[in-house]
Structure 1
Amino acid sequence: MTTSGSDHLRARPVEFLDVRRISFVEHPPPVLTPWEQAEVDRLWTVTKARNPATFDGPLVAGLGVDLSVPGVLVARWARLSYRHRALRVLRAAGGVPGSVFVTVLLPTERGLVVGRGAPTTAAPGRWTLPGGSVEPPADGHPLDEDALRRDAARELAEELGVRIPDEELRLFAVTRGRRFGSLGFHLLAPPVTSALLLRRHAELVIAETGRGAGPELDEVAFVSSAPEADRLGPGADYLPQVLRRYDDAV
C-alpha cells in the first residue's frame, strides 16, 4: 500500500536528529505586526477567561537549526512568553517559532512513566512523558545541555514528586516536529521503583490539592511499548516514536 504525504506526516509527526553536541545561539524575538500583536493579546484574554490558572510564563522559542556539521546541532532561539503560541493560528507553519521542551524517560520495573495532563494544564487529558517547556536562563547564564538537565530535573520534581540530581540525567534523543519545527530534548533517568513513584506522586497530589492548585499530572501509568500508550488515550505527538526508540535501545 502506498502512503500519501499527509498520511506519512500523521504517522511520523517528529523526526529524530543525530546529535552528539548541542549549541544554542540566542537571537532577538521575531517581529510581530501590530495586527498580530493585537490578536495575540486578544487570544490570550480568551485563554485566561477559559482557564484562569494559565500563566504567561517565559519560554525558549525555537527559530530554526543548523545541522551542517555532522552530529552538531546549532539551535537558534529567542525569549518569548506563553501567549505567543497563538501565532500558530495566525501564521503559516513555516513562520511560527517552534516550542523547545524537555522530557524525562523514567524507567521502572513496570515500564516507563507517563502522565495525563490535568484539566488546568495547556494539554488537558493528553498523555505525555514528564517534562515541559524550556525556560530562558537568567541573564549572564548560558542555555546549554546543563540547563536542559536542570529544567528536566525540575519538571520531574514538580510533576511527579521524584527528585533526581540533574547530573544523573543523560541525553537520550532529540526530536524535531515536522510541522512547526519544535525541538524536543528527551533525557533518560536512572530507574526507580513503581512503588516509590506512586507514593511520591500521591504525596504531591495531596500537597498541591491542599494549596488549591492541583497537580499538573492528574494520573500516572506505566508503559512498555507504543501500543500500550495508544490504549491510554490521546498522547503527545512525539510519544509513540520516542517509546519505539527506547524499546529498540533496551
Structure 2
Amino acid sequence: MTQPSTHPPVDVIEATELRLVEEPPPQLSAEHRAARDRVWDELASSNPALFDGPVVACTSLTQPHPHELLLGWARVTYRNFALRRVPSATALPSLFVDVLQPTDDGALLVAQMSTATAHPGRWHLPGGSVEPPDAGQPLDTASLRHNAARELLEELGVDTAPDDLTLWAVTCGNYGNIGIHFAAPPQPATVLNERFAAVVSATTTAVGQAPELEQITFVHSPADLTALIGPHADYLELLVDRYARILL
C-alpha cells in the first residue's frame, strides 16, 4: 500500500490558451553555481543514467486574462534542478508535458518509471520534461503537442498525431513545476499493452539501454491508485479524480 501523499496541494490553472515567451535564466552566484555542480556530480555518480541535457525551465507565470496563461521560460540543463538541494538557492520550476491516454472502457493508463530514471519507481502519466526548440523556432502550444506525442511514441509505442492531442489541464505542483496535460483519443487496452511490450523488448535488446518505464497499468478512479506500490507524481490523484468525474 502507498503512504499518504506529503506533497503540497496541486493547483489546476484554468486556461484554454497558452502563450510562451523566452526569457534569460537568472544569474547564479559563484557559491551557488559551485554547490549546484557538487550536488549534480553526487547525483550522477549514484545514477549514471542521469544526463545533463538541455531542458526548459519556467521563469514566470501570469494570467493576463481569465483563460489565458502566459509562461516565461528559459533554456537550462537538468543540473539546474539540483539547486533544490542547495540551501538558500532557488531552482527554476520545470515545465513538463504528459498525456492522459484513455482506454475504450474509460480507464486511464498510468506508468511506473524504471530505476534508470531520475524518479525510480514513481507512478505518473506518460510524458516528460520539455526540451527547448532549436534557435529561432518558437515554443508554443503546437510544439508542446509535438513534445507530448513524441513522449507517447518513445515510452509506449503509441503513434498519435500531435493535432489529435487536446489541451486538457494545466497544473502547478511541487517546486512550482508546471504540467501541461493533453488528452489522447481512446485506445483498446490490449493494443496499449502490446505496443508497450514491443517498446520494452526493443529497448532492452539495445546495447547499453534500459526502458524508461518499468510497467503500465490502467485505473478508473483514485481508489485504484492505492494499490500501486511506490511514490506517485503529485498531480496524479487529482487528474485521475478529475477525469473520472467527467465520465460520470
| Helix, strand or coil at the partner of 2:120 | coil
Once the 2 structures are TM-superposed, how far is the Cα of residue 223 of structure 1 from its aligned partner? 0.6
Letter in 2 for 1:222: F
The residue number in structure 1 matching 2:51 is 55
The residue number in structure 1 matching 2:31 is 35
- Name which of 236, 240, 243 aligns with 1:239: 236
- Name which of 185, 192, 197 aligns with 2:192: 197
Structure 2 residue 111 is the aligned partner of structure 1 residue 121: no
Unaligned runs of 5+ in 1: 1-8
| Helix, strand or coil at the partner of 2:198 | helix
Once the 2 structures are TM-superposed, how far is the Cα of residue 227 of structure 1 from its aligned partner? 1.7
Structure 2 residue 143 is the aligned partner of structure 1 residue 147: yes
Write the distance in 1 (CA, Å) between the matches of 2:35 and 2:233.
Answer: 27
Write the distance in 2 (CA, Å) between the matches of 1:36 and 1:50.
Answer: 21
Once the 2 structures are TM-superposed, how far is the Cα of residue 12 of structure 1 from its aligned partner? 5.7
- Indicate conservation of the 8 Å contact 1:171/1:185, yes or no: yes
Question: Where do 1:103-182 residues align within 5 Å?
Answer: 103-109=98-104, 111-177=107-173, 179-182=174-177
- Indicate conservation of the 8 Å contact 1:171/1:186, yes or no: yes
Once the 2 structures are TM-superposed, how far is the Cα of residue 27 of structure 1 from its aligned partner? 0.7
Q: TM-score, normalised by structure 1?
A: 0.92
Q: Which runs of 4+ in 1 moved over 3 A?
A: 9-12
Structure 2 residue 227 is the aligned partner of structure 1 residue 249: no
Once the 2 structures are TM-superposed, how far is the Cα of residue 230 of structure 1 from its aligned partner? 2.6
**Cα 1:77–1:11 shift into 2, 3 Å:** closer
| Helix, strand or coil at the partner of 2:99 | strand
Once the 2 structures are TM-superposed, how far is the Cα of residue 180 of structure 1 from its aligned partner? 2.2
Percent identity over paired residues: 44
Per-residue deviation, residues 173-220 of structure 1 (Å, max 9, x unmatched): 00012x522110010000111111111111111110011312100111
Once the 2 structures are TM-superposed, how far is the Cα of residue 91 of structure 1 from its aligned partner? 4.8
Aligned length: 240
Letter in 1 for 2:233: A
The residue number in structure 2 matching 1:101 is 96
Letter in 2 for 1:80: V
The residue number in structure 1 matching 2:80 is 84
Write the distance in 1 (CA, Å) between the matches of 2:119 and 2:51.
Answer: 13
Write the distance in 1 (CA, Å) between the matches of 2:192 and 2:15.
Answer: 30
**Cα 1:120–1:15 shift into 2, 3 Å:** same
Unaligned runs of 5+ in 2: none
Once the 2 structures are TM-superposed, how far is the Cα of residue 75 of structure 1 from its aligned partner? 0.6
- Indicate conservation of the 8 Å contact 1:12/1:241, yes or no: no
Q: Which moved more, 1:43-52 or 1:116-125?
A: 43-52
Write the distance in 1 (CA, Å) between the matches of 2:92 and 2:177.
Answer: 8
Letter in 1 for 2:172: R
The residue number in structure 1 matching 2:215 is 219
Once the 2 structures are TM-superposed, how far is the Cα of residue 11 of structure 1 from its aligned partner? 7.0
Once the 2 structures are TM-superposed, how far is the Cα of residue 140 of structure 1 from its aligned partner? 1.1
- Indicate conservation of the 8 Å contact 1:64/1:181, yes or no: no
Structure 2 residue 61 is the aligned partner of structure 1 residue 65: yes
Once the 2 structures are TM-superposed, how far is the Cα of residue 68 of structure 1 from its aligned partner? 3.3
- Indicate conservation of the 8 Å contact 1:64/1:75, yes or no: yes
